[in-house]
Amino acid sequence: MNGREIARMDSITPLFTEEQIAERVSALAAEISADYAGCEKLHIICVLKGSTLFTSDLLRRITVPTELHFVRICSYAGTQSTGVLRIQYSDVPDLRDQHALIVEDIIDTGRTLHLLTVLYKEKAPASLRVCTLLDKPSRRVVQLTPEYIGFTIPDRFVIGYGMDYDEAYRGLPYIGELHS
Protein backbone atom coordinates (compact mmCIF):
# COMPACT_ATOMS: atom_id res chain seq x y z
CA MET A 1 0.00 0.00 0.00
CA ASN A 2 1.19 3.47 -0.81
CA GLY A 3 1.96 5.65 2.22
CA ARG A 4 -0.14 8.51 0.84
CA GLU A 5 -3.33 6.51 1.40
CA ILE A 6 -2.62 5.05 4.81
CA ALA A 7 -6.21 5.51 5.97
CA ARG A 8 -7.54 3.05 3.40
CA MET A 9 -7.34 -0.71 3.38
CA ASP A 10 -7.71 -1.17 -0.37
CA SER A 11 -5.13 -3.13 -2.29
CA ILE A 12 -3.68 -1.81 -5.52
CA THR A 13 -2.06 -3.68 -8.39
CA PRO A 14 0.20 -1.33 -10.37
CA LEU A 15 -0.75 -1.15 -14.06
CA PHE A 16 1.30 1.71 -15.50
CA THR A 17 4.40 3.22 -13.91
CA GLU A 18 5.25 6.92 -13.83
CA GLU A 19 7.83 6.28 -16.56
CA GLN A 20 5.37 4.44 -18.81
CA ILE A 21 2.82 7.22 -18.39
CA ALA A 22 5.38 9.96 -19.11
CA GLU A 23 6.58 8.17 -22.23
CA ARG A 24 3.05 7.69 -23.56
CA VAL A 25 2.01 11.27 -22.75
CA SER A 26 5.07 12.57 -24.64
CA ALA A 27 4.18 10.42 -27.65
CA LEU A 28 0.57 11.66 -27.59
CA ALA A 29 1.73 15.28 -27.32
CA ALA A 30 4.09 14.78 -30.28
CA GLU A 31 1.26 13.28 -32.35
CA ILE A 32 -1.12 16.10 -31.42
CA SER A 33 1.53 18.76 -32.11
CA ALA A 34 2.19 17.28 -35.55
CA ASP A 35 -1.53 16.99 -36.38
CA TYR A 36 -2.21 20.60 -35.41
CA ALA A 37 1.02 22.05 -36.84
CA GLY A 38 0.38 25.57 -38.11
CA CYS A 39 -2.81 25.85 -36.05
CA GLU A 40 -3.15 29.34 -34.60
CA LYS A 41 -4.71 28.12 -31.39
CA LEU A 42 -5.86 24.79 -29.97
CA HIS A 43 -8.51 24.91 -27.26
CA ILE A 44 -7.77 22.21 -24.70
CA ILE A 45 -10.85 21.23 -22.69
CA CYS A 46 -9.91 19.44 -19.47
CA VAL A 47 -12.72 17.35 -18.00
CA LEU A 48 -12.58 17.85 -14.23
CA LYS A 49 -11.42 16.43 -11.99
CA GLY A 50 -9.90 13.19 -13.26
CA SER A 51 -7.97 14.54 -16.23
CA THR A 52 -6.17 17.40 -14.45
CA LEU A 53 -2.82 15.61 -14.06
CA PHE A 54 -2.93 14.18 -17.57
CA THR A 55 -3.91 17.55 -19.05
CA SER A 56 -1.15 19.43 -17.24
CA ASP A 57 1.51 16.98 -18.45
CA LEU A 58 0.11 16.91 -21.98
CA LEU A 59 -0.21 20.69 -22.18
CA ARG A 60 3.44 21.17 -21.24
CA ARG A 61 4.51 18.96 -24.13
CA ILE A 62 2.20 20.26 -26.88
CA THR A 63 4.14 22.67 -29.08
CA VAL A 64 1.29 24.52 -30.84
CA PRO A 65 -0.33 27.52 -29.06
CA THR A 66 -3.06 26.40 -26.67
CA GLU A 67 -5.80 27.84 -24.48
CA LEU A 68 -6.87 25.84 -21.45
CA HIS A 69 -10.49 25.43 -20.34
CA PHE A 70 -12.28 23.30 -17.78
CA VAL A 71 -15.62 21.56 -17.67
CA ARG A 72 -17.11 19.64 -14.77
CA ILE A 73 -19.86 17.09 -15.27
CA CYS A 74 -21.90 15.72 -12.46
CA SER A 75 -24.15 12.76 -12.53
CA TYR A 76 -27.41 12.57 -10.66
CA ALA A 77 -28.52 9.02 -10.01
CA GLY A 78 -32.21 9.03 -10.85
CA THR A 79 -34.73 6.28 -10.35
CA GLN A 80 -33.01 4.42 -13.20
CA SER A 81 -29.60 2.85 -12.77
CA THR A 82 -28.09 5.29 -15.27
CA GLY A 83 -27.52 8.72 -13.78
CA VAL A 84 -28.48 11.92 -15.58
CA LEU A 85 -25.47 13.96 -16.59
CA ARG A 86 -25.35 17.71 -16.17
CA ILE A 87 -22.70 20.39 -16.66
CA GLN A 88 -21.82 21.75 -13.24
CA TYR A 89 -19.08 24.15 -14.27
CA SER A 90 -17.65 25.33 -17.57
CA ASP A 91 -15.39 28.10 -18.82
CA VAL A 92 -15.37 26.80 -22.40
CA PRO A 93 -15.78 29.79 -24.74
CA ASP A 94 -17.60 30.05 -28.05
CA LEU A 95 -15.76 27.51 -30.21
CA ARG A 96 -17.06 28.67 -33.58
CA ASP A 97 -14.39 28.09 -36.25
CA GLN A 98 -11.92 27.10 -33.52
CA HIS A 99 -9.98 23.88 -33.05
CA ALA A 100 -10.91 22.04 -29.85
CA LEU A 101 -9.54 18.97 -28.13
CA ILE A 102 -11.36 17.37 -25.20
CA VAL A 103 -8.96 15.73 -22.74
CA GLU A 104 -10.33 12.89 -20.57
CA ASP A 105 -8.76 10.57 -18.03
CA ILE A 106 -10.75 7.48 -18.98
CA ILE A 107 -13.65 6.57 -21.23
CA ASP A 108 -15.93 3.95 -19.77
CA THR A 109 -19.55 3.86 -20.97
CA GLY A 110 -18.89 6.85 -23.25
CA ARG A 111 -21.82 8.83 -21.84
CA THR A 112 -19.74 11.78 -20.60
CA LEU A 113 -17.90 12.22 -23.88
CA HIS A 114 -21.09 11.75 -25.86
CA LEU A 115 -22.73 14.61 -23.97
CA LEU A 116 -19.70 16.86 -24.45
CA THR A 117 -19.17 16.12 -28.14
CA VAL A 118 -22.85 16.72 -28.94
CA LEU A 119 -22.74 19.99 -27.00
CA TYR A 120 -19.53 21.29 -28.57
CA LYS A 121 -20.43 20.24 -32.11
CA GLU A 122 -23.41 22.59 -31.81
CA LYS A 123 -20.90 25.43 -31.40
CA ALA A 124 -19.65 24.76 -34.97
CA PRO A 125 -15.93 24.38 -34.20
CA ALA A 126 -13.43 24.07 -37.05
CA SER A 127 -12.56 20.68 -35.55
CA LEU A 128 -13.37 18.69 -32.44
CA ARG A 129 -11.35 15.70 -31.25
CA VAL A 130 -11.03 13.61 -28.11
CA CYS A 131 -7.85 12.57 -26.32
CA THR A 132 -8.16 10.06 -23.50
CA LEU A 133 -5.39 8.60 -21.39
CA LEU A 134 -7.26 5.32 -20.87
CA ASP A 135 -9.98 3.61 -22.83
CA LYS A 136 -12.19 0.76 -21.63
CA PRO A 137 -13.97 -0.09 -24.92
CA SER A 138 -15.62 -3.25 -23.54
CA ARG A 139 -17.79 -1.08 -21.27
CA ARG A 140 -19.14 1.17 -24.01
CA VAL A 141 -22.88 1.98 -23.99
CA VAL A 142 -22.66 4.94 -26.37
CA GLN A 143 -20.46 4.37 -29.42
CA LEU A 144 -17.54 6.74 -29.44
CA THR A 145 -13.99 6.35 -30.77
CA PRO A 146 -11.44 8.84 -29.44
CA GLU A 147 -8.82 10.11 -31.89
CA TYR A 148 -6.01 9.87 -29.32
CA ILE A 149 -5.74 7.01 -26.81
CA GLY A 150 -2.97 6.55 -24.24
CA PHE A 151 -3.67 2.95 -23.25
CA THR A 152 -6.54 0.56 -23.94
CA ILE A 153 -7.42 -1.48 -20.86
CA PRO A 154 -9.84 -4.28 -19.99
CA ASP A 155 -12.80 -3.76 -17.65
CA ARG A 156 -10.91 -2.88 -14.47
CA PHE A 157 -11.43 -0.12 -11.91
CA VAL A 158 -8.32 2.02 -11.93
CA ILE A 159 -7.02 4.81 -9.71
CA GLY A 160 -4.11 7.23 -9.58
CA TYR A 161 -2.65 9.94 -11.83
CA GLY A 162 -5.81 12.01 -11.34
CA MET A 163 -8.30 9.17 -11.15
CA ASP A 164 -10.12 8.54 -7.90
CA TYR A 165 -12.13 6.15 -5.84
CA ASP A 166 -14.41 8.21 -3.65
CA GLU A 167 -12.01 11.19 -4.11
CA ALA A 168 -9.01 9.19 -2.84
CA TYR A 169 -5.86 8.26 -4.78
CA ARG A 170 -5.86 11.13 -7.31
CA GLY A 171 -2.34 12.08 -6.21
CA LEU A 172 -0.74 8.71 -6.89
CA PRO A 173 1.95 9.21 -9.53
CA TYR A 174 1.22 5.83 -11.14
CA ILE A 175 -1.97 4.06 -12.30
CA GLY A 176 -3.16 0.98 -10.50
CA GLU A 177 -6.08 -1.40 -10.38
CA LEU A 178 -8.06 -1.08 -7.19
CA HIS A 179 -9.32 -4.12 -5.30
CA SER A 180 -11.45 -2.94 -2.40
Q: Distance of CA 63 to CAs 24, 30, 32, 42, 132, Å?
A: 16, 8, 9, 10, 18
Residue 158 lies near ligand IMP (rule: CB under 6 A): yes
Query: Which own/partner contact pairs does 115-120 have at CB distance under 8 Å and 24+ positions apart?
Result: 115/73, 115/85, 116/45, 116/47, 116/71, 116/73, 117/144, 119/87, 120/45, 120/92, 120/95
Residue 160 lies near Mg ion (rule: CB under 5 A): no
Q: Is 108 a catalytic residue?
A: yes
Residue 175 lies near ligand IMP (rule: CB under 6 A): no
Catalytic-role residue among 35, 57, 91, 108? 108
Point out which span in 5-13, 22-30, 63-71, 158-166 binds ligand IMP (CB under 6 A).
158-166
Q: How far is the CB of 76 from ligand IMP (least distance, A)?
A: 13
Among 25, 36, 50, 148, binds Mg ion (CB under 5 A): 50
Q: Which residues bind Mg ion (CB under 5 A)?
A: 47, 50, 105
Which residues form the catalytic set?
A: 108
